[in-house]
């Protein structure tokens, strides 16, 4: 086995999921708050478009950068939603944001170069970097910076081998947003050093309560990753996209041709219905449901003794400090599952900086289930701490 394969850490949440499923198979009732995918169905207009495409025999490869009609639809969406005009030729349709992130790291960085990213943060990014012999530098972040990178942190950590910065806005596992002025300051720092700024906006449509402009409005040199997985509830369809500076497109096209050939064809046809008014109406309803869940779960967790110093503003995650409840998130998650039937993700999945003392709750379950989960935790922790 290669050294690079040996260096890829397991995704601990998958162990929790497997154990939760085994318990369920044995008849136990488990509330799933561990996996980061919406519990809502893909909106019907998208499903219908996918079925129509399959029936019409749309099962062969598309061009490597995606169906021209989908690239145009994505460009029109950016124009409508954020008022930013983008040439569809700058859009690459990819197998999820995962495909986009892999392509971006492959296209932009050489072995030995460094890419700054927040710790805690989405774990696969540092593994994509490792695979390509790029050094992921985890920059410790905490509540003081809303668990996000700042321009000052970028300046402090930029070294002679640093070539770029990757942020997720909002972030996973914290659901916190980089304020617009800070993102612009990060962009200015990166630009001044001749590096690349990559912004993962997979949760951007799930920012609650306000309209945040996307990173594309910062300039044409920003690489913006997005996906149909989360907001559009299409995790299993494996479809995302990326907007890049025009001069990178030939390289990204060559990489896409060789790595993936193309994104899944039925999914691309289905996604043509993603921006229809009927679809957007369904998604607005889902988003409102998520807001109501967050507004219930965060105070309930705080009342149980979890520490949530920054209100999550987007995505569907709460990153909770264990405070006096426990010292080790992994042991806590295991016991919570075995003894109370509630599955959560250990913070350790998301990096090294104080992650051991955290767990992540994904509110991808109904409010009834969230309420039950809070009750189970209350009863369990009262019992666990009883003399
Ligand atoms: C921040 C972030 N980026 C990218 C991804 C990958 O998403 P997908 O490949 O399903 O589009 C995820 C999935 O959880 C994520 O949380």
Mean pLDDT of all residues in 349-364: 95
215-255: per-residue pLDDT in tens?
Answer: 999 999 999 999 999 999 999 999 999 999 999 999 999 99
Give residue for tokens 């193309």: 262
Give residue for tokens 């705080």: 302
Which ligand 1 atom sits nearest the alpha carbon of residue 95?
9
DSSP alpha helix (H) spans, the chain:
3-7, 12-25, 44-55, 68-82, 96-108, 124-131, 151-157, 180-192, 249-259, 265-271, 277-304, 329-335, 367-384
What CATH number does the domain located at 3-41+279-382 have? Answer: 3.90.1150.10
265-318: per-residue pLDDT in tens?
Answer: 999 999 999 999 999 999 999 999 999 999 999 999 999 999 999 999 999 999
The CA 172 to ligand 1 mean position distance, Å, reads 9
- Tell me the C-alpha distance between 244 and 84, whole Å: 14
Assigned token pair, 271: 């996604």
- Tell me the C-alpha distance between 363 and 266, whole Å: 29
- Tell me the C-alpha distance between 347 and 330, whole Å: 8
Please report, for the chain, how many H helices and E strands are present, in that order.
13, 12
Share of residues in the chain with pLDDT > 90 (%): 94
The CA-based angle 21-22-27, given to 5 degrees, is: 95
What rounded mean pLDDT belongs to the chain?
Answer: 96
Assigned token pair, 254: 């060559």
Is 12 in contact with 348 (CB distance < 8 Å)?
yes
pLDDT for 11: 81
Mean pLDDT of all residues in 23-42: 95
The CA 320 to ligand 1 mean position distance, Å, reads 20
Mean pLDDT of all residues in 55-83: 96
Is 162 in contact with 114 (CB distance < 8 Å)?
yes
pTM of the model: 0.96
pLDDT for 198: 98
Q: Does residue 10 carry a pLDDT above 90?
A: no
pLDDT for 386: 54
125-163: per-residue pLDDT in tens?
Answer: 999 999 999 999 999 999 999 999 999 999 999 999 999
pLDDT for 383: 83
- Tell me the C-alpha distance between 314 and 177, whole Å: 7
Which ligand 1 atom sits nearest the alpha carbon of residue 228?
11
Assigned token pair, 22: 């085994």
Mean pLDDT of all residues in 111-119: 98
> Do 3-41+279-382 and 46-274 show the same overall fold?
no
The CA 97 to ligand 1 mean position distance, Å, reads 6
- Tell me the C-alpha distance between 104 and 90, whole Å: 13
Mean pLDDT of all residues in 16-41: 95
Is 255 in contact with 103 (CB distance < 8 Å)?
yes
- Tell me the C-alpha distance between 255 and 207, whole Å: 32
pLDDT for 34: 94
Is 177 in contact with 212 (CB distance < 8 Å)?
yes
Assigned token pair, 360: 């992540």
* Ligand 1, CB within 6 Å, residue ranges: 36, 96-98, 122, 168, 172, 200, 202, 227, 229, 235, 240
Give residue for tokens 């349709």: 93
Give residue for tokens 């935790």: 377
- Tell me the C-alpha distance between 346 and 357, whole Å: 9
Has domain 46-274 been given CATH number 3.50.50.60?
Answer: no
Ordered by start, the domain boundaries in the chain are 3-41+279-382, 46-274
The CA 202 to ligand 1 mean position distance, Å, reads 7
pLDDT for 190: 98
Q: Is 160 helix (H, G, I), strand (E, B) or coil?
A: coil
């Amino acid at each position: 086995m290669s050294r690079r394969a040996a260096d890829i850490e397991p995704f601990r949440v998958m162990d929790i999921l497997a154990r939760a499923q085994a318990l369920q198979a044995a008849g136990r009732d488990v509330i799933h708050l561990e996996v980061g995918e919406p519990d809502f169905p893909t909106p019907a207009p998208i499903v219908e478009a996918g079925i129509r495409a399959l029936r019409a025999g749309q099962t062969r490869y598309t061009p490597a950068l995606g169906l021209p009609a989908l690239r145009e639809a994505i460009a029109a969406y950016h124009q409508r939603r954020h008022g930013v005009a983008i040439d569809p030729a700058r859009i690459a349709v990819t197998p999820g944001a995962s495909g986009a992130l892999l392509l971006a790291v492959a296209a932009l960085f050489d072995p030995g170069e460094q890419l700054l990213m927040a710790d805690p943060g989405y774990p696969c990014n540092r593994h994509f970097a490792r695979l390509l012999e790029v050094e992921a530098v985890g920059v410790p972040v905490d509540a003081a910076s809303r668990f996000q990178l700042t321009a000052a942190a970028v300046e402090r950590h930029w070294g002679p081998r640093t070539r770029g910065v990757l942020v997720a806005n909002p972030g996973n596992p914290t659901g916190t947003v980089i304020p617009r002025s800070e993102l612009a300051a990060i962009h200015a720092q990166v630009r001044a050093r001749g590096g690349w700024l990559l912004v993962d906006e997979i949760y951007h449509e799930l920012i609650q309560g306000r309209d945040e402009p996307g990173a594309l409005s910062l300039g044409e040199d920003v690489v913006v990753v997005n996906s149909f997985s989360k907001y559009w509830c299409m995790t299993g369809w494996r479809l995302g996209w990326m907007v890049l500076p025009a001069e990178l497109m030939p390289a990204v096209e060559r990489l896409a041709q060789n790595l993936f050939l193309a994104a899944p064809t039925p999914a691309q046809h289905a996604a043509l219905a993603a921006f229809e008014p009927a679809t957007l109406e369904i998604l607005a309803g889902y988003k409102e449901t998520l807001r109501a869940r967050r507004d219930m779960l965060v105070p309930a967790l705080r009342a149980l003794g979890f520490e949530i110093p920054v209100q999550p503003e987007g995505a569907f995650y709460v990153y909770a400090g264990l405070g006096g409840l426990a010292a080790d998130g992994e042991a806590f998650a295991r016991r919570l599952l075995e003894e109370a039937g509630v599955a959560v993700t250990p913070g350790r999945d998301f990096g090294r900086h104080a992650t051991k003392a955290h767990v992540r709750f994904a509110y991808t379950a109904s409010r009834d289930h969230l309420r039950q989960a809070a009750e189970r935790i209350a009863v369990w922790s009262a019992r666990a701490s009883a003399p």
